[in-house]
Amino acid sequence: CLLGTVVALSLLLAIVVVAAIQVALFSPKELPEGVKSIVHRESSAAFEDALVVRTNCGEYIGTIEDGAFVFK
């Protein structure tokens, strides 16, 4: 059971890494004025320390839980 959990978490982490690479490769090279990163941490009460990832396809809001990006 523990081995299955470790394998599942490893797969989730691999998916997050692949998604981050895709975001880096396929995102617009010029960020909007005043934006330093396409991934940033929201600190408003509505998001409760969420990560926001902006891509050409839209905006994804989630958190990192157990090493995986979880969409909200």
What radius of gyration do the chain's Cα atoms show?
A: 14
Cα torsion for 20, 57, 51, 8, to the nearest 10°? Answer: -50
Nearest Cα residue to 24 out of 53, 45, 1, 62 = 53
Q: What percent of the chain has pLDDT over 70?
A: 40
The token pair at 70 is: 């979880």
pLDDT value of residue 8: 84
pLDDT digits (tens, 9 = 90+) for 35-60: 655 555 555 555 555 666 776 667 77
The answer to whether the beta carbons of residues 38 and 53 sit under 8 Å apart is: yes
The pTM (predicted TM-score) of the whole model is 0.36
Instruction: Say if residues 68 and 12 touch (Cβ distance below 8 Å).
Output: yes
